[in-house]
Copies of this chain bind each other. A is one copy, B any other.
Amino acid sequence: MNRTAKGSRVTIADVARRAGVSAGAVSFALNDRPGVAEPTRRRILDAAAELNWTPNARAKSLSQSKAFALGLVIARRPELLGADPFFPSFIAGVETVLAEAGQSLVLNMVATPAIEQETYRRLSADGRVDGVFVTDLRAGDERIALLAELALPAVTLGRPDVTSPHPAVCLDDAHGVAAAVRALIERGHRHIGHVGGPLTFLHSRSRRRAWAEELATAGLPANLGAVADFTAAGGAQATVQLLRRRPRPTALVYGNDVMAIAGIAVAQQHQLRVPADLSIVGFDDITLAEHLHPPLSSVRTDPFGWGQAATRVLLELIAGESPPDLELPAAAAVLRESIGDCPGQPTRKRSPRVKEKT
Contact = CB atoms under 8 A, between A and B. Distances in A.
Contact of A108 (B59, B95, B261, B265): B95
A142 B354 CA distance: 46
A289 to B, nearest CB: 8
B233 A287 contact: yes
Contacts of A149: 1
A87 to B, nearest CB: 7
Contacts of A199: none
Contact of A92 (B2, B88, B109, B231): B109
Contacts of A236: 291
Interface string A278-310: 000000001110111100000000001000000
A92 B67 CA distance: 23
A5 interface: no
A149 B52 CA distance: 14
A68 to B, nearest CB: 9
A62 interface: yes
A57 B128 contact: yes
A221 interface: no
A262 interface: yes
Copies of this protein in the assembly total: 2
Contacts of A262: 288, 291-292
A194 to B, nearest CB: 19
A83 to B, nearest CB: 6
B126 A56 contact: yes
A325 to B, nearest CB: 24
Contacts of A265: 291-293
Interface in A74-118: 78-79, 81-85, 87-89, 91-92, 95, 99, 104-110
Contacts of A162: none
A125 B264 contact: no
Contacts of A261: 288, 291-292
Interface in A240-289: 258, 261-262, 264-266, 268-269, 286-288
B125 A54 contact: yes
Nearest to A72: B107
A56 B122 CA distance: 10
* Those 9 A-B pairs whose CB atoms lie nearest each other, nearest first: A82-B85, A81-B88, A265-B293, A78-B92, A57-B126, A232-B291, A262-B291, A268-B293, A1-B151
27 contacts: A1-B151, A1-B152, A2-B125, A55-B126, A56-B126, A56-B127, A57-B128, A58-B58, A59-B62, A61-B62, A78-B89, A78-B91, A78-B92, A78-B304, A79-B89, A82-B89, A91-B109, A95-B108, A104-B128, A105-B107, A106-B107, A236-B291, A258-B287, A261-B292, A262-B292, A265-B292, A266-B293
Interface of A: 1-2, 54-59, 61-62, 65, 67, 69, 78-79, 81-85, 87-89, 91-92, 95, 99, 104-110, 119, 122, 124-128, 149-152, 231-233, 235-236, 258, 261-262, 264-266, 268-269, 286-288, 290-293, 304
